[in-house]
Amino acid sequence: MSKWPDHPIDEIMGYIRKRSANLVIVDMGCGDARLARTLKSTHPNIHSFDLVALNDHVQVCDIAHTPLNNDSVDIVIFCLSLMGTNLTDFIHEAH
């Protein structure tokens, strides 16, 4: 990604910055939770899920089975995380 002209998460953050602070946002396969770390002061309802917690912003879980209630999320983000063998399960969970 160091050779990419723009990092996809930067584009996503630009989009979110223009949206309501009340949105509930989920970052699936979040890595180091850069989205939540960067936007937590303006958008406090960001949930960051990954198989490994690289910091305190990350909640460990299989993104095919999150602890969130149905119809409780406004935006779901898969930034470079649709690489698992069960990616259809990930999309089904997001829906």
What are the pLDDT digits (tens) for 29-75? 999 999 999 999 999 999 999 999 999 999 999 999 999 999 999 99
Q: Is the predicted pLDDT of residue 26 greater than 70, yes or no?
A: yes
Question: Is CATH 3.40.50.150 correct for 23-94?
Answer: yes
Please report the pLDDT score of residue 31 as a whole number: 92
pTM, entire model: 0.85
Two structure tokens written together for 6 = 């723009």
Distance CA 64, CA 86 (A): 8
For the chain, domain boundaries? 23-94
